[in-house]
Amino acid sequence: MAYYSDEVMQRTAYWANQLGSDWQREMPIRIHSSDIAADGSPEWHPDFAKWMMKAEGRWGKNTDQRLRTTRVMRRLRRVAVREYEVLYRVLVLHERLEETTIWLNDRAERNNIPFPPHRPGGPHYIQKDALALFICGIEFASTFY
């Protein structure tokens, strides 16, 4: 049974592929280099230092596609945390939607979140809910991209 139209699913798949590949490339792999900084602490890896500076806005207006994606995802995290978490788990960590649904339920249970009124005995989330969060997150990101 299809919950969403083919058009919605095709648009979601297109943008998930586009945003996911950019987002993964933007995230630095290494935090520290093998060198020691002047103050004796581990020195930041150049990729991580560059990423941190972009995060703080010190690089000015950079139209780089990957940076655009990162900014959109940061904005999504500020306004819709759950959608951000679902996108991160699926697009960056490569989890299947089933695994993300399990994670959402574990998180809700761990945080003692009451069951929704329409599901008094649980679960908090079903796969249809995780898919809706994913679609909403992608729609937000594609709109503000």
Per-residue tokens: 48: 């991580």
Nearest to 92 by CA among 113, 66, 112: 66
> In whole angstroms, what is the distance from residue 111 CA to residue 124 CA?
12
Put simply, whether the predicted model's pTM sits higher than 0.95 gets the answer no
DSSP state letters, 3-31: SS-HHHHHHHHHHHHHHHHHHHHHS-S-S
Handedness of CA 50, 68, 55, 32 (dihedral sign): negative
* Residuewise pLDDT in 10s, the chain (145 residues): 578 999 999 999 999 999 988 877 665 555 566 667 666 666 766 766 666 665 555 444 444 676 788 889 989 999 999 999 999 999 988 999 999 999 999 999 999 999 988 888 889 999 999 999 999 999 999 999 8
Tokens 């299809």, residue? 2
